[in-house]
């Protein structure tokens, strides 16, 4: 595995791979790799000749009062995981390498941002889209892999690729869960033991909603109320949002039809957790 820290080194490594007609699979991350990332790397390995992993905690996607400084980092551990996962090129740039000066321009995401995480994190998805666009330009992969835990992010990246005619296939991969259903996340380490015991109830609430949709007797408001009702009974934390939207357009739909996302964000003392399920409203099956 080659560890490259500069854009120049990365360009050289990519040019070499391209001249050897290698298909590149790309997994962009902010590090502190967990099982979910391993799954993305595994899939990228299966589908491509070469796997590029980037680790970069992108300041552009954090608001002033968010956890940029506290975001967990452990490069040595990540490096080991990357080696074991068969990564060929690990891109690990510094902030000054990615942003030598304040960017002259950023991508403004116009649709699908005033809902879910976008509503409470203004500018977050502009920061995500901008860094992913930069990384796509540098890595020039055939395919890029994203976890569906961040389903809004996946929808926005798909829209970006579509809008700017970027010839990269976006591969969404299923959320990886702990045995008790909690979605794996780098932020789970910030849960107290009591909060950790509580947290699987988030997914349980989503499952209950999915059962309700399956019976085809629920409206959007019923589903939201059902989940909120469950979350309000939890001993710790507070609801950030619960919503039901079309997917991937991310529009509110009172009549549940087509592919829908049921999503929530919940704030514990030191960690804000998100989770979602995608459901085919016609069959009630998760998809």
* Active-site amino acid positions: 37
Give Cα separations from 273 to 14, 140, 155, 239, 276 (angstroms). 35, 31, 19, 10, 11
Q: Which structure tokens are listed for 84?
A: 């074991």
Instruction: Name the strand (E) or helix (H) holding 206.
Output: helix 200-214
Does residue number 277 form part of the binding site for ligand PAF (CB under 6 A)? Answer: no
Task: Say if CB 23 and CB 48 are below 8 A apart.
Answer: yes
Query: Residue 171 and residue 148: Cα distance in Å, rounded?
Result: 10
Among residues 40 and 262, whose Cβ is nearest to ligand PAF?
40
Q: Which residues inside 111-130 make contact with ligand PAF, applying CB under 6 A?
A: 128
Does residue number 28 form part of the binding site for ligand PAF (CB under 6 A)? Answer: yes
Does residue number 150 form part of the binding site for ligand PAF (CB under 6 A)? Answer: yes
What's the closest the beta carbon of residue 281 comes to ligand PAF, in angstroms? 27
Contacts of 38 (CB under 8 A, 6+ apart): 81, 85
Q: Which residues inside 219-238 make contact with ligand PAF, applying CB under 6 A?
A: none
The piece of 27-35, 96-104, 105-113, 168-176 that touches ligand PAF (CB under 6 A) is 27-35
Does residue number 58 form part of the binding site for ligand PAF (CB under 6 A)? Answer: yes
Q: Which residues inside 152-211 make contact with ligand PAF, applying CB under 6 A?
A: 153
**Helical ranges in 48-150 per DSSP H:** 75-84, 95-98, 116-120, 124-139
Task: Say if CB 19 and CB 118 are below 8 A apart.
Answer: no
Does residue number 132 form part of the binding site for ligand PAF (CB under 6 A)? Answer: yes
What's the closest the beta carbon of residue 104 comes to ligand PAF, in angstroms? 19
Among residues 131 and 202, whose Cβ is nearest to ligand PAF?
131
Q: How many residues bind ligand PAF (CB under 6 A)?
A: 10
Query: Residue 202 and residue 79: Cα distance in Å, rounded?
Result: 31
Contact set with ligand PAF (CB under 6 A) = 28-30, 58, 61, 128, 131-132, 150, 153
């Amino acid at each position: 595995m080659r560890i490259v820290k500069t854009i120049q080194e990365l360009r050289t490594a990519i040019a070499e791979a391209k001249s050897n007609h290698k298909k590149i699979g790309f997994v962009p991350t902010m590090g502190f790799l967990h099982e979910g990332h391993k799954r993305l790397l595994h899939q990228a390995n299966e589908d491509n000749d070469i796997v590029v992993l980037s680790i970069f905690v992108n300041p552009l996607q954090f608001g002033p009062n968010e956890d940029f400084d506290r975001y967990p980092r452990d490069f040595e551990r990540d490096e080991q995981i990357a080696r074991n996962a068969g990564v060929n090129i690990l891109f690990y740039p510094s902030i000054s390498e990615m942003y030598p000066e304040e960017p002259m321009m950023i991508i403004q995401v116009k649709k699908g941002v005033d809902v879910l995480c976008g509503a409470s994190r203004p500018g977050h998805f502009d920061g995500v889209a901008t860094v992913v666009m930069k990384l796509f330009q540098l890595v020039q992969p055939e395919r890029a892999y994203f976890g569906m835990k961040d389903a809004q992010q996946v929808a926005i990246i798909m829209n970006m690729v579509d809008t700017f005619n970027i010839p990269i296939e976006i591969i969404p991969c299923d959320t990886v869960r702990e045995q008790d259903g909690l979605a794996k996340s780098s932020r789970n380490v910030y849960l107290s033991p009591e909060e950790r015991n509580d947290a699987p109830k988030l997914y349980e609430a989503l499952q209950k909603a999915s059962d309700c949709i399956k019976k085809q007797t629920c409206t959007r408001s019923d589903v939201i109320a059902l989940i909120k009702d469950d979350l309000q009974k939890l001993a710790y934390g507070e609801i950030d949002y619960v919503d039901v939207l079309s997917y991937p357009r991310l529009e509110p739909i009172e009549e549940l039809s087509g592919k829908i996302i049921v999503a929530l964000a919940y704030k514990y003392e030191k960690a804000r957790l998100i989770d979602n399920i995608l459901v085919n409203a016609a069959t009630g099956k998760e998809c």
